[in-house]
Amino acid sequence: MSSCRFVLFLVIIISSLVACKKKEEPLFYESGRVQAPVKEPAREVVATQQAFIAGVQKVTPSVVNISTIGKKKIVRPMFEFSPFFDDFLKENPQFRRDRSLGSGFIINREGYILTNDHVVRDAETIKVRLSNEKVYDGRVVGSDPKTDIAVIKIHASEELPVAVLGDSDKLEVGQWAIAIGNPFGLSRTVTVGVVSATGRSGMGIETYEDFIQTDAAINPGNSGGPLLNVHGEVIGINTAIVAAGQGIGFAIPVNMVKQIIPQLIRKGSVSRGWLGVSIQPVTEELARSFGLKSASGALVSEVMAGSPAAKAGIRQGDVIVRFAGKPVKDVQHLQRLVAETPIGGKAEAEFFRAGKLLKLSVVVGSAESQEALQARSGDAVPSSLLGMTVEDLPRDMRTQGIGGVLVTGVEDGSMAAEAGIQGGDIIVAVDQKRIANLSEYVRAMKDAEKKGSVALLVKRGGASIYFALRIR
């Protein structure tokens, strides 16, 4: 009996020890030991991922890091508009060393690299770092501030990888977009998004605008880098962001770039076509009054005597709806179409006149001709109009989505001074109409001059102020 009790006691003790012993827990779980949470992801997801990987691996070697050192004039804000210091500052300008970082990509094996003009503008030295970490000196071959495009060149000792330029005219909203660049100096960063919109203009960032909008993250340092499609083809050049918004970046369409690359490499600058007309948007009201079905095209408000348009027979009041075989969407679109037409080349213009659709052949002139230069000088804003001078906003402000013109000087005793306008103010609207740049301001002020008065909306620091002025 005692032996049975002893055996029972041992069984209880052993059972207790086994129950108290915990199962050993691993420090972490890894895929070699356990099954992946998602055993078979959707084939479409895997295929898309592989497309991104393949495209980036092919194109990244052609993307370069560009660093520059330049000389920038120092402006003393408290003396900027002082007549006493004006002559002194002109004779004794002060400069500072300015460093910048950007991106670019190699377009041929001779060492030509495409980037933004603002990346290399005023640069004294340009250093180009390749994907293999080799660094070369670069020089600017040609630049075009009106589209913010520049071509630089390096003399490399090895065979260079090149990017392939695609066809931006075939882009559709919703397509994948891949941006590669060097944001904040972080080499060859890849971001992915979609094409949010195409044909964005009127942003006040460049003279000729036809931007691709994308939500692929673009940050300072991405400028000049490529925007790709899933085939690894370059569809745009990343150039600007809206600082106030998230997921709003802009790229210059590659087809616009293709047209000017030969001129930049051959002669260092771009020559553009010219018609010799002043044009304005077609509003809904104007469309109804002209008997048009939609508010598209560009209304001719003035024709310069002896200009290509005048010689062809275009008249004031014509609404140009097609040019060079392409439908005209708006004023900016017509400006681009004319500028892209070869100088001396013929282009067919379709327009409405007195309710009839007419066609004429126009021989496009040069925007650098004496007649064109004289016409543009007539668009200058007379400082005596209100007693103040204005100019386009600095590019860094325009790329942040700020529109308007900067007041650079106010004459003592002038109407502007008496109203309270100050140097450094930003005029953002004229007579309740927002303005994006100097040309829009000029047009708006000409309309206001006919009325004899104007209301200006001014931004000063964080405040917005209305000023009403009489125009003598």
Return the closest-CA partner of residue 267 out of 202, 343, 158, 204. Answer: 343
**H helix count then E strand count, the chain:** 12, 26
Q: How far is CA 29 from CA 25, 35, 37, 41, in A?
A: 10, 10, 11, 20
State the Cα–Cα distance between residues 365 and 348, nearest whole angstrom: 14
C-beta separation of 120 from 268 below 8 A: no
Contacts of 358 (CB under 8 A, 6+ apart): 350, 351, 352
State the Cα–Cα distance between residues 292 and 105, nearest whole angstrom: 45
Catalytic residues: 118, 148, 223
Contacts of 335 (CB under 8 A, 6+ apart): 208, 279
State the Cα–Cα distance between residues 128 and 152, nearest whole angstrom: 10
The letter for the amino acid at 284 is: E
State the Cα–Cα distance between residues 436 and 164, nearest whole angstrom: 34
Phi-psi region of 67 (alpha: psi -120 to 50; beta: other; left: phi over 0): beta
State the Cα–Cα distance between residues 36 and 34, nearest whole angstrom: 7
State the Cα–Cα distance between residues 150 and 120, nearest whole angstrom: 8
C-beta separation of 454 from 448 below 8 A: yes
